[in-house]
């Protein structure tokens, strides 16, 4: 097992601190989160609980949390919020930071080799760290929107979420949406990584190396990529902003790509 690198450790620590700062500066936690049924306090409570769950998993504890499907994860989220009634900005800010730090300490001290069972299947500690970062960035963006403050997503942090994204994509493919599709995609992030996704028989194979002859190549701005992957934005708005370009034998497949997955 390899240790997580300093880049992702710093990104996790800094993202937790920036989310905590958002909460501490908030006029209250009762306001609605756009596009969600949660209030600011509920979203922050979920984030604090999720950071604790991730820290416990990294420390080698077994924790059950749904069966990996979006519906079961949503139910587990609601059950956990029902028995955790803290909604205050300062306690939640402190918990988000403390549990992020606990996660990093657990990763450094965990002697376990191999994989850890997570809400989205088995992962290495490195991928789990990427999962934690992606989860914080998604909800951090939600909180920033709700509070009218700048978000903390940037190209560097999005790049660090890719180990999780590539691991999770085959597990969250929408088999109904992808039924009958036979196509090879190359996805490129501006100024950074690229990967391949090949659909066949209702499933998808995701590889770090793109296919030799993709049917559709998608070049996208990194922040929009992550927000589309997490279900926060749709492809048409990103394309209208000039943040997505596509080419290949079947470029018309590009807007369909995000809808081939169900955001966890």
Q: At what angle do helices 40-58 and 89-109 cross, to 10 degrees?
A: 20
Q: How far is CA 244 from the centre of its chain?
A: 20
pLDDT tens digits, one per residue of 157-199: 999 999 999 999 999 999 999 999 999 999 999 988 999 999 9
Q: Quick one: DSSP state of residue 231?
A: T
Helix, coil or strand: residue 183: strand
What residue spans in the chain does CATH classification 3.30.1050.10 cover? 172-260
> Model's pTM, two decimal places?
0.95
Q: Quick one: DSSP state of residue 159?
A: H
Whether 106 contacts 59, CB under 8 Å:
yes
Amino acid 69: pLDDT? 79
CA–CA–CA angle 21, 26, 29 (5° rounding): 115
Whether 223 contacts 158, CB under 8 Å:
yes
Given 1.20.120, 2.30.30, 1.10.357, 3.30.1360, which CATH number is that of 6-169? 1.20.120
Helix, coil or strand: residue 174: coil
Amino acid 66: pLDDT? 80
| HSE toward the beta carbon, residue 69, CA cutoff 13 A | 6
Give me the tens of pLDDT residue by residue for the chain, a chain 264 residues long: 344 688 999 999 999 999 999 999 999 999 999 999 999 999 999 999 999 999 999 998 888 888 777 788 889 999 999 999 999 999 999 999 999 999 999 998 876 657 888 989 899 999 999 999 999 999 999 999 999 999 999 999 999 999 999 999 999 999 999 999 999 999 999 988 999 999 999 899 999 999 999 999 999 999 999 999 999 999 999 999 999 999 999 999 999 999 999 987
DSSP for 7-32, written as a single string:
HHHHHHHHHHHHHHHHHHT-S-S-SB
Amino acid 149: pLDDT? 97
Phi, psi angle pair for 200, to nearest 5°: -165, 140
What residue spans in the chain does CATH classification 1.20.120 cover? 6-169
- The CATH superfamily holding the domain 172-260 is SCP2 sterol-binding domain (3.30.1050.10)
């Amino acid at each position: 097992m390899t240790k997580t690198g300093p880049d992702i450790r710093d990104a996790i620590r800094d993202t937790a601190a920036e989310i905590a700062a958002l909460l501490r500066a908030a006029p209250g936690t009762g306001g609605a989160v756009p596009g969600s049924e949660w209030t600011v306090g509920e979203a922050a409570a979920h984030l604090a609980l999720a950071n604790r769950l991730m820290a416990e998993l990294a420390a080698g504890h077994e924790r059950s949390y749904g069966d990996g499907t979006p519906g079961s994860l949503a139910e587990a989220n609601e059950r956990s919020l029902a028995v955790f009634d803290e909604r205050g900005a300062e306690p939640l800010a402190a918990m988000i930071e403390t549990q992020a730090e606990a996660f990093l300490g657990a990763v450094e001290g965990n002697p376990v080799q191999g994989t850890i069972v997570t809400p989205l299947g088995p992962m290495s500690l490195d991928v789990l760290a990427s999962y934690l970062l992606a989860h914080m960035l998604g909800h951090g963006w939600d909180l920033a929107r709700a509070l009218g403050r700048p978000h903390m997503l940037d190209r560097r942090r999005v790049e660090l979420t890719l180990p999780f994204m590539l691991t999770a994509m085959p597990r969250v493919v929408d088999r109904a949406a992808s039924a009958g599709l036979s196509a090879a995609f190359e996805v490129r992030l501006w100024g950074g990584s690229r990967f391949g996704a090949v659909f066949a028989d209702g499933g998808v194979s995701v590889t770090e190396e793109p296919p030799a002859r993709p049917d559709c190549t998608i070049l996208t701005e990194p922040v929009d990529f992550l927000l589309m992957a997490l279900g926060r934005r749709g492809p048409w708005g990103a394309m209208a902003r000039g943040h997505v370009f596509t080419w290949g034998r079947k470029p018309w497949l590009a807007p369909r790509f995000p809808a081939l997955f169900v955001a966890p």
